[in-house]
């Protein structure tokens, strides 16, 4: 039986770790860790390396910064998308528009696969002063609503504690 779950929270809230624990606990076989981060600088590479060490060999890692649907459709195990926020960033950087992102997420949500989404909650901050940051915030908010409305479970994470809100 497939199931969709969302872990949403602020940056460094603990949502990724809790999503990993949840995915491992609820997977029959070794789950897929779908890493969306593109390596843009040394600091980002260090962060990615730290994440890899923490999850060790508990997941099979697949790296895909843009075409998530195609990768997930090929998977034969549950999939943890880490993270949708970086994917939105990548899509904007490569010139994709909201409608294309929405179609990609909608397609993922229709798959008969177990998928755990991780997403930064950007709705509690101030409105950014530049247009690109506002566009990112708007897209992230709209996609978080779309994902949450279609998920079986939604967890909000603060200070390492994930609380089920749906």
What pLDDT score was predicted for residue 24? Answer: 95
Supply the pLDDT for residue 49. 66
Domain that holds residue 106: 4-164
Q: pLDDT tens digits for the chain (166 residues)?
A: 799 999 999 988 999 999 999 999 999 999 999 999 876 767 766 766 676 666 668 899 898 999 999 999 999 999 999 999 999 999 999 999 999 999 999 999 999 999 999 999 987 778 888 999 999 999 999 999 999 999 999 999 999 999 999 9
pLDDT of residue 128: 83
Closest CA to 35 of 24, 22, 44: 44
Domain of 38, CATH number, reads 3.40.50.300
Distance CA 58, CA 36 (A): 18
Number of domains comprising the chain: 1
Predicted TM-score (pTM) of this structure: 0.92
d(CA 17, CA 7): 10
Closest by CA position to 117, among listed 25, 22, 13? 22
Reported as half-sphere exposure (CB side, CA atoms, 13 A), residue 51 has a value of 23
- Distance (Å) of CA 9 to CA 13, 67, 119, 131, 164: 6, 24, 7, 23, 12
Active site residues: 51
Question: What pLDDT, on the 0 to 100 scale, is given for residue 48?
Answer: 65
């Amino acid at each position: 039986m497939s199931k969709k779950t969302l872990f949403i929270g602020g940056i460094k809230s603990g949502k990724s770790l809790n999503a990993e624990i949840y995915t491992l606990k609820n997977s029959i076989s070794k789950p897929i860790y779908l890493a969306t981060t593109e390596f843009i600088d040394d600091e980002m590479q260090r962060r990615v390396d730290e994440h890899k060490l923490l999850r060790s060999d508990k997941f099979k890692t697949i790296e895909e910064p843009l075409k998530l649907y195609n990768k997930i459709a090929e998977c034969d195990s549950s999939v943890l998308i880490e993270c949708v926020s970086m994917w939105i960033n990548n899509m904007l950087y490569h010139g994709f528009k909201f409608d294309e992102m929405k179609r990609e997420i909608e397609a993922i949500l229709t798959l008969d696969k177990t998928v755990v989404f991780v997403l930064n909650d950007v709705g509690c901050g101030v409105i950014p002063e530049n247009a690109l940051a506002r566009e990112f915030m708007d897209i992230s908010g709209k996609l978080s609503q779309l994902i949450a409305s279609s998920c079986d479970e939604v967890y909000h994470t603060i200070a390492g504690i994930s609380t089920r809100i749906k």
